[in-house]
């Protein structure tokens, strides 16, 4: 965590610092224009203070904005995965969420850091491999379940087809069974 800044701009109210950061980010105003626009000359703020803030406090703000944007993107991805699978298998949804999180982790992958970790504690490698194996097994089991449900649905629909032609069930009963099959 960055230590608390102590300069003139750092002592200004948060809302004013935010305005300064936005103006710096837009790049449409000079330091002097920022001072004039926000009425900071009365508080003995000079161009040098804004320049120092751009190097320090503003950079902290930029990193925070990037972090917040990344968190928002992750949250939106998770929400979209859940929305896309509302009618689906909850296990598959969990796997997709886990895969998204693993992707986020791997996108920042540092092979040098991994090597350092493995040199210090080789059991971490085993833990990662075991986790990947468990996720893979779960995915295979879900696919098997989907195939099984599809096969059962096909058999039931075939039997229903025979019953329709033989006149074995009342039309209302057939409709209820067909509606139940649509849910599978």
Q: With left for phi above 0 and alpha for psi between -120 and 50, is residue 120 left, alpha or beta?
A: alpha
DSSP 8-state symbol, 38? H
Pairwise CA distance, residues 47 & 33, whole Å: 9
In the predicted model, what is the mean pLDDT of residues 160-167?
68
DSSP 8-state symbol, 16? H
The pLDDT-based confidence of 90 (bands split at 50, 70, 90) is confident
Instruction: Supply the pTM of this predicted model.
Output: 0.52
Report whether pLDDT(54) > 80. yes
């Amino acid at each position: 965590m960055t230590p608390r800044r102590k300069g003139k701009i750092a002592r200004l109210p948060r809302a004013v610092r935010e305005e300064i950061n936005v103006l710096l980010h837009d790049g449409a105003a000079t330091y002097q224009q920022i001072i004039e626009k926000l009425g900071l000359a009365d508080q003995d703020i000079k161009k040098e203070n804004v320049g120092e803030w751009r190097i320090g406090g503003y950079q902290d703000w930029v990193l925070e904005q990037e972090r917040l944007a990344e968190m928002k993107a992750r949250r939106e991805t998770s929400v979209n995965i859940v929305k896309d699978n509302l009618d689906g298998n909850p296990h598959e949804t969990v796997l997709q969420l886990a895969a998204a999180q693993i992707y986020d982790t791997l996108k920042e992958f540092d092979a040098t850091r991994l090597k350092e970790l493995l040199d210090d504690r080789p059991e971490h490698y085993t833990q990662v491999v075991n986790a990947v194996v468990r996720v893979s097994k779960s995915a295979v089991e879900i696919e098997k379940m989907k195939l099984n449900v599809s096969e059962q649905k096909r058999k039931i629909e075939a039997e229903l087809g025979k019953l329709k032609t033989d006149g074995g069930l009342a039309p209302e009963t057939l409709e209820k069974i067909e509606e139940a099959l649509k849910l599978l």
